Each structure stands twice: as structure tokens, then as C-alpha cells.
């Protein structure tokens, strides 16, 4: 029984492999692509896509946050600052207590300054 099923599967698969390709319709040829442009991030590690209607490439119904940021920057006093590439955020301190670190550093500086004043 297994051999018969295997032979039947192979026969149907071989007919699919030898089928002639179907030419696309004129509607398919004229359709706009889903993503209209791709950009490489400044660090060269990420690709950002944009749909023709300005929506997100990942969530088609959501406006692209980068397009919204660009439009918003044009209404600001120093709107061209959006073109300045900033250094990436240092993620090594993520999930740590920043206020504790800052207060400890300030206390250490005060202590060092008081020791210098006594010397």
C-alpha cells in the first residue's frame, strides 16, 4: 500500500515539474510592488523598507514611523537636524540602576575632592 501511495505521489509531482510556466496577466505586470524603496541604515546593518503609500513594510496598515518623523521634523525650527547621524545608544548598562550609579559616582567625586582639600 505504501508503494502505491509513493508511486502516485511521484507521478503527480513529476507532472507538476514538467508543467509549462504560466505567463503573468497584464494586471500582474502592471501592479505596483508592495515595497517601493529600500534604504540601508547608517551603520550598514539594517534595511528599512517603505510601501508606495508611505506605510510600514512590516505592518501594511500602519503609517511608517520614519515618514512621520520626517514630516514632523519639517515643522520644527531646526528640522534639518534629523539628517545628523547620532552615535548608537550604549546598551551595556541596560537593566541596571542608573540613579544608583550616578549617585555613587557623585559621592565618590565628593569624597575624592574632600580628601584633596584635607591634604
User: CA distances (Å), 102 to each of 5, 89, 110, in order?
Assistant: 71, 18, 12
Q: Are 28 and 19 in contact (CB under 8 A)?
A: no
Phi, psi of 38 (to 5 degrees): -125, 140
Parallel, antiparallel or unpaired: strands 47-50 and 37-40 = antiparallel
pLDDT value of residue 110: 93
- Please report which confidence band the pLDDT of residue 95 belongs to, taking 50, 70 and 90 as the band edges: confident
- Rounded average pLDDT over 87-107: 81
Please count the other Cβ atoms lying within 10 Å of the Cβ belonging to residue 63.
Answer: 14
- Please report which confidence band the pLDDT of residue 88 belongs to, taking 50, 70 and 90 as the band edges: confident
Q: Judge if pTM exceeds 0.75.
A: no
Cα–Cα distance for residue pair 79/96, rounded to 1 Å: 34
Q: What is the DSSP string of 50-109?
A: E-TTSBBSSSTTSBPHHHHHHHHHTTSTTGGGGGSPPPPP-GGGTTS-HHHHHHHHHHHH
Domain ranges of the chain: 33-80
Q: Is the pLDDT of residue 107 over 90?
A: yes
Q: Are 50 and 64 in contact (CB under 8 A)?
A: yes
Percent of the residues in the chain that have a pLDDT greater than 90, as a whole number: 8
Amino acid at each position: 500500500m505504501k508503494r502505491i501511495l509513493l508511486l502516485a505521489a511521484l507521478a503527480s509531482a513529476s507532472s507538476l515539474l514538467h508543467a509549462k510556466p504560466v505567463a503573468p496577466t497584464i494586471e500582474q505586470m502592471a501592479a505596483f510592488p508592495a515595497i517601493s524603496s529600500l534604504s540601508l541604515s547608517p551603520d550598514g546593518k539594517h534595511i528599512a523598507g517603505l510601501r508606495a503609500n508611505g506605510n510600514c513594510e512590516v505592518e501594511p496598515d500602519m503609517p511608517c514611523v520614519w515618514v512621520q518623523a520626517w514630516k514632523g521634523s519639517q515643522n520644527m525650527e531646526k528640522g534639518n537636524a534629523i539628517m545628523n547621524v547620532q552615535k548608537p545608544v550604549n546598551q551595556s548598562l541596560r537593566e541596571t540602576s542608573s540613579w544608583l550609579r550616578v549617585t555613587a559616582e557623585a559621592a565618590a567625586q565628593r569624597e575624592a575632592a574632600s580628601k584633596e582639600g584635607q591634604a
